[in-house]
Amino acid sequence: MTDLRPGTAERTGKNSRATPPPRRRLGSFLGRVDTKWSPYLFVAPFFVIFGIFGLFPLVYTAWVSLHQWSMGGSGTFIGFENYVELFDDPDFWNATINTLGMLVLATVPQLLIALVLASLLNQGLRKLTFLRVGVLLPIVTSVAAIGIVFSQIYDRDAGMVNGMLGLIGVDAVDWRADKWSSWIAISTMVNWRWTGYNALIYLAAMQSVPRDLYEAAIVDGASRIRQFWNITVPMIRPAIIFTVIISTIAGMQLFTEPLIFGQGSYAISGGSLRQFQTLSMYMFEKAFRDFDYGYGSAVAWMIFVLIMLLALINFLIMRKGK
């Protein structure tokens, strides 16, 4: 019986601190290690993967951008010469303006329409599931398919848009020939694809807005539009910040839509006079068409810096608004 006593004592927990058995001490050590380090282990896969696929390429790209790095592999170190050249490069600035222009044309209407759409979906319509699936569909459509279909809609000779313009007596537009027309065409593709996605995020956020706020507003005689601006929008602010930042990042990386819209063997230039060449396209052109990897990497890093800047500006504006 005596040899059972430590066990009993342990179970009561009273004497265990005074005379901990050696076996248990190891156990509690492991337990401490467990509570202290397990969480890190659980989140480690993300950081390991990020380190390999995110951080390393980032640093490596920076390294390459400091070199004259062409076909023959690692080239001569030239410091910031690529960046100096970049600041003097009209094609780079042209691509920056195009990217920012299409970013505004694509993001602003997209988020506004998504907000309105979400608040409509939030009204408790019947057949809601059907409608929700409806707004989701464009996201699962492949970008390439969207690009091809819209390219035909905006075709100069046989396109639907020019056909409809013809009906109201407007001359056919060569959509690829001008900045404004190509920007509109490309922005439509982006808007079409992402509006539903953002609407769903807003809808989810709206569903957590307390109903009594609206009831109180109705009692106070606030119109639906007033309710929308004074209750819905402020209450889902975090969701809006999220979508603005995500859309900005996506907009800065715009690549496939303009590339497919461009057509032809040298589509990477985004039109005969680079009317709609984005920064990612310019990066790709320099690295893989002109084989100037160092310069391409410098463009890549400038995209990164621009995204950081824009995200920061977004964040500051949003926080100030609060």
Partner 1 sequence: MPVRVRRTLLATALAGALAATSACGGEAEDSAEPGKTTLVVKTFSQFGYEQLFAEYEASHPDIAIEEENIGKLGDYLPKLQQWIATGEGAGDVVALEEGILSQFMANPQHFVNLLDHGAAELESNFLDWKWQQALTPDGGRLVGLGTDIGAQGMCYRTDLFAAAGLPTDREAVGELWPTWKDYLATGKRFLGADTGAHFFDSSNGIYQNILMQQGDHTYYDTSNNLVIDSNPAVRTAWGMTIDMIESGLSANIEPWSPQWNSGFKNGTFATIPCPSWMLGTIEKQSGPENADKWDVARVPGDGAVRGGSFLAVPTQSEHKVEAAELVKFLTSPEGQIEAFESKNNFPSSPQAIDDPAVRDFTNDYFNNAPVGKIFGESAKAIQPVYLGPDNNPIGDRVSNALVAVEQGKLGPDEAWAKAVEDAKRLVN
Q: Following CA atoms 105, 110, 116, 121 in sequence, which dihedral angle do they give, to the nearest 10 degrees?
A: 160
- 148 is a site residue for partner 1 (CB under 8 A): yes
The site map against partner 1 for 102-141 (x = CB under 8 A) is ----------------------------------------
- 283 is a site residue for partner 1 (CB under 8 A): yes
- 297 is a site residue for partner 1 (CB under 8 A): yes
Give how far Cα 118 sits from Cα of 4, 128, 150, 195, Å. Answer: 67, 11, 25, 10
Cα 250 to chain center, whole Å? 4
- 304 is a site residue for partner 1 (CB under 8 A): yes
Structure token pair of residue 276: 């709609």
- 76 is a site residue for partner 1 (CB under 8 A): no
Contact present, 299 and 306 (Cβ < 8 Å): no
Contact present, 113 and 202 (Cβ < 8 Å): no
Site stretch for partner 1 (CB under 8 A), options 107-115, 135-143, 199-207, 291-299: 291-299
Q: Which of 61, 181, 227, 314 binds partner 1 (CB under 8 A)?
A: 61
- 64 is a site residue for partner 1 (CB under 8 A): yes
Q: Which of residues 155-214 bind partner 1 (CB under 8 A)?
A: 155-158, 174, 176-178
Residue 103 three-state SS: helix
From CA 120, how far away is CA 224, in angstroms rounded? 11
Residue 255 bridge partners (DSSP): none
Between 227 and 253, whose beta carbon lies closer to partner 1? Answer: 253
Smallest distance from partner 1 to CB 60, Å: 5
Give how far Cα 56 sits from Cα of 49, 62, 291, 295, Å. Answer: 10, 10, 22, 19
From CA 158, how far away is CA 181, in angstroms rounded? 16
From CA 109, how far away is CA 113, in angstroms rounded? 6
Widest CA span in the chain: 105
Give the orientation angle of helix 237-252 with respect to helix 90-121, to 10 degrees. 150
Residue at 87: amino acid letter? F
Smallest distance from partner 1 to CB 176, Å: 8
Q: Which of residues 220-279 bind partner 1 (CB under 8 A)?
A: 249, 253, 255, 263-266, 269, 272-273
Smallest distance from partner 1 to CB 49, Å: 12
- 56 is a site residue for partner 1 (CB under 8 A): yes
Smallest distance from partner 1 to CB 102, Å: 18
- Residues forming the site for partner 1 (CB under 8 A): 52-53, 56-58, 60-61, 64, 71-73, 89, 148, 151-152, 155-158, 174, 176-178, 249, 253, 255, 263-266, 269, 272-273, 280, 283-284, 287-291, 293, 296-297, 299-301, 303-304, 307
